[in-house]
């Protein structure tokens, strides 16, 4: 990508809210990263407000 490495660029896990483009890009840049989806953002009670 031509970007300088960030301080935590090689962290073992990343969290997200289900933005599929984020996960796809992350797999390309840091394929060994584990994924964990944020359960709060997908909660139906949260989405209904």
Nearest to 35 by CA among 25, 48, 47, 49: 25
3-state secondary structure of 36: strand
Look at residue 8 in the predicted model and tell me its pLDDT.
53
Residues paired with residue 34 on neighbouring β-strands, in sequence order? 13
CB 33 within 8 A of CB 14: yes
CB 37 within 8 A of CB 16: yes
- Stated pTM of the model: 0.40
Per-residue pLDDT of 1-49, as tens digits, reads 566 566 555 556 666 666 667 778 878 888 887 776 666 655 565 555 5
């Amino acid at each position: 990508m031509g970007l300088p490495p960030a301080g935590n660029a090689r962290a073992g896990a990343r969290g997200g809210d289900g933005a599929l483009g984020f996960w796809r890009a992350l797999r390309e840049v840091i394929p060994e990263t584990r994924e964990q989806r944020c359960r709060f953002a997908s909660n139906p009670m949260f989405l209904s407000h």
